[in-house]
Amino acid sequence: MNLAENRDPLDIAEAWKAAGRDVAIATVIETWGSAPRPVGSHLVVDAEGNFEGSVSGGCVEGAVISEAIDVIASGAPKMLEFGVADETAWRVGLSCGGRIAVYVERIG
């Protein structure tokens, strides 16, 4: 088992910052319907696209990582919302047509 699996993403973010890495944190701030991760879930991303934690899965996670890299570069936080119809929900990683709001901010 990977050591990171037992660590809180916020602890990982702190360690990455201490090591001199530029870091962003994505946080699930709201969910509607069915969502794979609860409010308060975190995904930590560095400027090279390394990540730990999870906010959703599927292509949503990939989109959040991409946006987090942009947030690191610009320093400007972003509010992201993802939602899909039931028939396409599983393909993009949201179960049963759920929607989520994710706040992404650079830390440091």
Q: Using alpha carbons, select from 52, 64, 59, 4 the residue that is nearest to residue 28.
A: 64
Q: What is the Cα–Cα distance from 79 to 87, expressed in whole angstroms?
A: 25
Model confidence at 3: pLDDT above 90: no
Given a contact cutoff of 8 angstroms between Cβ atoms, the answer to whether 32 and 66 are in contact is no
Those residues with Cβ within 8 angstroms of residue 69's Cβ, 6 or more apart along the chain or in another chain: 24, 45, 47, 49
Structure tokens at 88: 């396409």
pLDDT in tens, 16-58: 999 999 999 999 999 987 778 999 999 999 999 999 999 987 7
Q: Count the alpha carbons within 13 Å of 94 in the hemisphere toward its beta carbon.
A: 24
pLDDT in tens, 66-77: 999 999 999 999
Sheet holding 51-53, edge to edge: 51-53, 42-46, 23-32, 99-107, 78-83
Q: What is the Cα–Cα distance from 46 to 50, expressed in whole angstroms?
A: 5
